[in-house]
Amino acid sequence: MIKHISSLVAILFFVASCQSQKEVIKPENNLADQQEQTIRYINNNPKLVVGLVVDQMRYDYLTRFYNKFGQGGFKRMMNEGFNCKNNHFNYVPTYTGPGHASVYTGTTPKYHGVIGNNWYDKATKAMVYCTGDSTVVSVGTASSAGKMSPHRMQTTTFADENRLFNQMQGKTIGISLKDRGAILPAGHTANAAYWFHGQDEGAWISSTFYMKALPKWVSDFNISETAESYFKEWNTLYDISSYIESGNDKNNFERGFNGKKYATFPYDLAALKDENRGFDILKATPYGNSLTTDFAMAAIEGEALGKDGITDVLTVSFSSTDYVGHNFGVNSKEVEDTYIRLDQDLERLFMYLDTHVGVGEYTVFLTADHGAVDVPSYLNSVKIPAGYISNTDRKVTFETFLMDTYGTKDIVENISNNQIFLDRVKVKALGLKLADVQQQIANEQLSYDHVAKVYTAATMNSTNYTHGVEALLQNGFNQKRSGDIIIVNDVAFISYSKTGSTHGSGLNYDTHVPLLFFGKGIKKGYTLQKTEITDIAPTLSALLGISFPNGATGQPLEFVID
């Protein structure tokens, strides 16, 4: 009798417990709905994670332009969230493709395989583009601009792991003016990635890797003439005399736009667009970031992101900052105005998230894919060592060396991205040892002006570096894809035009970038402890309670998580 009474009590307790749980998680007949509510009930994760990458953003832009920012953009993240003030890239080369891949995979080109924006493919003997894919078809345009996918990225992103964790129920959407800025962050399992095709179309497009046709909300956005609305005057947001954080508006260090004699404010974009590839001119103005923000908000609504209990991921890359930096340079009034206006776009985006997802229901991080060097000709003008490299002159000298030493130039297949690729079949046919040829060429290159260091693939494969540029080179070295010889130029010496800024090195101006977190699950504070770009994805994975990306080498920043 006691046994039966005990059993009855246990059954009643179980029923009461289930009834209580039902009231909390509100299960529906649909199993997916039950899983959705249960996941949120158990984990209490943010409804939406928003990853923001600002292309070519140096860390010092946060401090240099601080007094020009409002309270709702960069300052909101810094004051309400966590600021990692000593955040760096831990590899070379610091380019856009590797940068976006590394932020979201939590590892370096050594493992994810994106060793540049373009690189020489040793198997096909041709240059390849990091997201180029001839097996897919453009969606939203008849041009080849949509023939893109993440197939060359060899590891998962934290967005991929989030989708795997929740049985593909959470959504992932990637957005950027640049295809690589949209595709690589969103990962392999993304529901969609969208990028902007300019020229005479001005449309957001995708590829058949993701879909057969654009969703209605994207088509509606494309015909809304939102892009056309930005063909207007670009002048400084505030009185230009107040822009004391940047150099003179008229100088010799900026390229500007075709059709305008001087690179000075204001810029009549409607009048200049025909000489500057139509809609593409918007990319090199702050309005490209505004257009990206418009489209990101349309995506939140169109895809109902953050509307249920399963975490969605939205990746947004603001690319106009890179185009403006390349065109006008780090110290330009144009760069300052672009960041002041980006700050307003961030405020607009955060207010939209507050309304459509809910205050305290989303998590945001902001970083960059690389920094940039001050224009070397400007640095020279203030007596700082810097300069330019002529690849043509180097090539002539190098080819003379090849003929004198090996009797042929054909021993070298390709020179690109500061790497030399050897024809290994030719090396063998000449009866030479590969390691000896690598070292001979390295010694020759080291004798050239403004070459600081040279390393061979044999050295990269046999030596374990733990610090310095050597460690950065090794983290960027992929055995299958990288070259036989790697060249490091002198500090602030670049192969580029004498106007505008560029990037790619392992020096602080290229590696030191912002890292801000704020929103649900994030502590308030800051650190001067060194953090690395590869720590971001593991931190987000830890916050969400999901698996780390499968190749991740970074570590969770536990001091960031509340």
At 318, which helix (H) or strand (E)? strand 312-318
* CA 206 distance to own-chain centroid: 18
Residue 139, token pair as written in the block: 């969606």
Cis peptide before 185 (omega within 30 of 0): no
Q: Are 122 and 421 in contact (CB under 8 A)?
A: yes
Report helix angle 434-446 to 391-406, nearest 10: 140
Q: Exposure of 429 by Cβ count < 10 A (0-12 exposed, 13-18 middle, 19+ buried)?
A: exposed
Distances (CA, A) of 109 to 104, 112, 156, 189: 12, 5, 13, 20
Instruction: Report helix, strand or coil for 150.
Output: coil
* CA 460 distance to own-chain centroid: 26
Enter the DSSP assignment of 68: G
Residue 379, token pair as written in the block: 């640095």
CA nearest 318: which of 301, 334, 300, 294?
294
Residue 343, token pair as written in the block: 């700050």
How large is the C-alpha radius of gyration of the chain? Answer: 26
CA nearest 268: which of 259, 250, 342, 247?
259
In whole angstroms, give the CA distance from residue 292 to residue 289.
5
Q: Do β-strands 138-139 and 82-88 pair in parallel, antiparallel, or remain unpaired?
A: unpaired
- Choose the catalytic residue: 38, 94, 96, 392: 96
- Phi and psi (nearest 5°) for 525? 160, -165
Active-site residue, 96 included? yes
Report helix angle 158-165 to 96-105, nearest 10: 40
Q: Do β-strands 48-54 and 362-368 pair in parallel, antiparallel, or remain unpaired?
A: parallel
* SS3 per residue for 244-308: CCCCCCCCCCCCCCCCCCCCCCCEEHHHHHHHCCECHHHHCCHHHHHHHHHHHHHHHHHCCCCCC
Catalytic residues: 96
